[in-house]
A and B are shown apart, each in its own frame.
Chain A
C-alpha cells in the first residue's frame, strides 16, 4: 500500500525518469546502513540460533555433533526447564490481571480528577521510570524480615514477618508484586489515553437512555469503548510479564531451589553460566515461539486500537 505508489502515467517521460531513478538509488543508499545492521543484528543471528539449536555445541568443547531435535526433546523433558516455564506462566497469571485491572481502576479514578490529576499521574508513573535493579534492591530492604517497614507494621500487630524472598511459596508472588508495582502506572497512562478518546456526548446519550449512576455509565459506555485499549494493554502486559528477568537475577537467582526460576533466567544460566550453547539455543527458540505468538496478538490489538482511535 505504500512502497509501490504507482506514478501517474504522464509523468513517466524521459525527462522525469532520470531523477526518478536517481531518487531510487538515493533511497537504496539511505537504507543501506540500516539494511546491513538488520542483517548483522537480526537476520544472521536467527539463522545461527536455529543451526546451533540442532547441535550439542558447548563453549570449549573439543567436538560438536549435529543432534537434530534432541535438544528440544531434552528441554521438554527437563524438570528444571519445565519448572521455569510453569513459574513464568504463574508469574504472568498473577501480574497480568492485577496490573491491567489496577491500571484501569487507577485510570478511571485519575481521569475524573481535575486539580489533583497530574499529581497522581506523577506518583503512579514514578516506578516506570526508575531503574528496576536499584528499586528491586530497595524492595528487598523494604521487605526485610526484621529491619524493613513491613516488618515494623507487622510487629505492631504482633505478627511475624515471613521471609518473602526465601520462602518457596512466597517468592514468586513477591516478585510478581514488584512486577505489578512497576507496571500499573504504565497501564494507567495507556488507559488514560483511551479514556480521553471517548466522546462526551456518548455519556449524555446514555444518560438520556436512562443510564444512571457511575456503574451503569461504566458498563454501557466506558467499558465497550475501551475494548481495543484493554486488549492492547493486556497483550503488552503479558509480553512484559513473560520477559521477567531483572528482579529474578538481582533478588533470587532462581532460588530457593528453583522456586523462582523463569524462562529467561533458565536460558541465561544455560547459555552464559554453563555455556551449554546448543541446548540454550533450543531454549531460546522455544522462547522465541512464545514471543511470536504474543507479537501476533499485539499486532492484531494495535491494529484495532488505531482503527478505533
Chain B
C-alpha cells in the first residue's frame, strides 16, 4: 500500500473514532455510573470500568424508588396496542386504495398524503378537550387513540400493494376467495418486509414519545417509559446519580438491544420514513 493511501486511511479512522467516542460517551458514562458505588460517583472521575463493582444495588434502588418495570410494561401495552390497531386499520385501507377503486378513492388518498406531515402537536389541543369531556384522561385508550390511524402506514402499504400482481388476485377470485381472504392470505404475506419495517418504526416512535403522554397522563402508574423517566427524575432529587443512571439504562435497554440484534431491519425501519 502506498504511504499516502495508508495515511488517508489512518486519518479516516481517526476522524471516525473521534466522532464515535462522542456518540458512545453518554452510553458509557451511563453504564459506568449505574454500576458504581456512591462514593466513587462523587470522587472517581474518569474510568473505563468501576473500581469497585457495585453489582445491581443501584438498579435495586431505582426499582424501589419508582415503578420502572411498570413504566416499561405500560410502554409494551401502548406500543403493542397502537401497532395492532394501526395494522388492522391500515392494511385493508391500503389494499382498497391500491386494488379496489371506489368513489372517493382520490379524496381519501389526498387526505392521507396531506395528513402525513401533520405532527401530533397540531390536533393535540382539540383531542385533549375531547378526552377531558369524555372523562378519558389518564387511560390507556387516551394514550393510544390518536395513533390508531397511521396515514404513513396507509401510504407505504398502498405503494407496496400496488406492485402485487393483479393476475394472482384474479386467479384467487376465480377460485372463489373473498377480498378479505385475498388480503390476509396472499397480499399481506408478500408485503411482510415492509410491514416489519413499519412495525419497527412505529414501536420506536411510540416507545420514545413524550409530548402526548405528558398531556393526557398525570397518574404515575399509567406513564410510558419517557414520562416515567420524567417522574423518576423529579422523585430522585438530585444526588442519587447511581439509581438515576440505572433507571436510564433500563428504559433505554430494550430498543438498543433490539437494534443490536436486528441491525439491518432497524436502520431500514427508522429511516425509510424520512420522518423522525
A122 adjacent to B263 (CB under 8 Å): yes
A3-B105, A35-B108, A38-B149 known; A129+B259 contact, CB < 8 A:
yes
A31 adjacent to B93 (CB under 8 Å): yes
Contact of A45 among B8, B42, B126 (CB under 8 A): B126
- Determine, out of B27-35, B53-61, B76-84, B190-198, the stretch whose residues face the partner at the interface: B27-35
A3: B residues at CB distance < 8 A: 97, 101, 105-106, 109
A154 vs B135: C-alpha distance when bound (angstroms):
53
Q: For the complex, is A218 an interface residue (Cβ under 8 Å from B)? A: no
B25: A residues at CB distance < 8 A: 142, 149
A41 adjacent to B146 (CB under 8 Å): yes
A147 adjacent to B41 (CB under 8 Å): yes
Q: For the complex, is A183 an interface residue (Cβ under 8 Å from B)? A: yes
B125 adjacent to A34 (CB under 8 Å): no
| Band of interface residues on B | 35 or more
B123 adjacent to A49 (CB under 8 Å): yes
Taking the closest CB of chain A, its distance from the CB of B273, in whole angstroms, is 9
A102 vs B109: C-alpha distance when bound (angstroms):
37
Interface string of A37-53 (1 = CB under 8 A from B): 11001111110110010
A245: B residues at CB distance < 8 A: 121, 210-211
- Determine, out of A164-172, A198-206, A286-294, the stretch whose residues face the partner at the interface: A286-294
Q: For the complex, is A74 an interface residue (Cβ under 8 Å from B)? A: no
Q: For the complex, is B37 an interface residue (Cβ under 8 Å from A)? A: no
B118 adjacent to A288 (CB under 8 Å): yes
A137: B residues at CB distance < 8 A: 229, 233, 244, 248
A27 adjacent to B100 (CB under 8 Å): yes
Task: Kindly identify, within residues 123 to 145 of chain B, every residue whose CB is under 8 Å from any CB belonging to chain A.
Answer: 123-129, 145
A123 adjacent to B23 (CB under 8 Å): yes
B252: A residues at CB distance < 8 A: 130-131, 134-135
B108: A residues at CB distance < 8 A: 31, 34-35, 38
Taking the closest CB of chain B, its distance from the CB of A12, in whole angstroms, is 14
CB nearest neighbor in A for B24: A123
A109 adjacent to B129 (CB under 8 Å): no
B259 adjacent to A125 (CB under 8 Å): yes
B241 adjacent to A141 (CB under 8 Å): yes
Q: For the complex, is A23 an interface residue (Cβ under 8 Å from B)? A: yes
- Determine, out of A75-83, A219-227, A277-285, the stretch whose residues face the partner at the interface: A277-285
A46: B residues at CB distance < 8 A: 118, 122-123, 126
A24 adjacent to B149 (CB under 8 Å): no
A4 vs B103: C-alpha distance when bound (angstroms):
9
A2-B109, A137-B248, A302-B274 known; A129+B204 contact, CB < 8 A:
yes
A183 vs B274: C-alpha distance when bound (angstroms):
12
Taking the closest CB of chain B, its distance from the CB of A108, in whole angstroms, is 9
Interface string of B252-266 (1 = CB under 8 A from A): 100110111001001
Task: Kindly identify, within residues 83 to 127 of chain B, every residue whose CB is under 8 Å from any CB belonging to chain A.
Answer: 88-90, 92-93, 95-106, 108-109, 111-112, 115-119, 121-127
A31 adjacent to B118 (CB under 8 Å): no
Q: For the complex, is A250 an interface residue (Cβ under 8 Å from B)? A: yes
A277-B129, A298-B274 known; A123+B20 contact, CB < 8 A:
yes
A131 vs B248: C-alpha distance when bound (angstroms):
9
A121 adjacent to B267 (CB under 8 Å): yes
Q: For the complex, is A126 an interface residue (Cβ under 8 Å from B)? A: yes
A291: B residues at CB distance < 8 A: 117-119, 122
B89 adjacent to A34 (CB under 8 Å): yes
Interface string of A188-225 (1 = CB under 8 A from B): 01100100000000000000000000100000000000
Q: For the complex, is B52 an interface residue (Cβ under 8 Å from A)? A: no
A31 vs B102: C-alpha distance when bound (angstroms):
10
Taking the closest CB of chain A, its distance from the CB of B224, in whole angstroms, is 10
CB nearest neighbor in B for A235: B274
Q: For the complex, is A25 an interface residue (Cβ under 8 Å from B)? A: yes
A106 vs B12: C-alpha distance when bound (angstroms):
9
B247: A residues at CB distance < 8 A: 134
CB nearest neighbor in B for A245: B211
Taking the closest CB of chain B, its distance from the CB of A125, in whole angstroms, is 6
B19 adjacent to A102 (CB under 8 Å): yes
Taking the closest CB of chain B, its distance from the CB of A223, in whole angstroms, is 18
A109-B15, A120-B16, A284-B125 known; A131+B29 contact, CB < 8 A:
no
- In addition to A3-B106, A24-B102, 7 A-B residue pairs with Cβ atoms within 8 Å of each other are A31-B108, A49-B123, A120-B16, A130-B27, A245-B211, A250-B210, A291-B118
Pairs of residues from A and B, 4 with the lowest C-beta to C-beta distance, nearest first: A27-B100, A295-B117, A45-B123, A34-B93
Q: Return 9 A-B CB contacts under 8 Å, by A number.
A: A46-B126, A122-B260, A125-B267, A129-B270, A137-B229, A138-B27, A245-B210, A268-B215, A288-B122
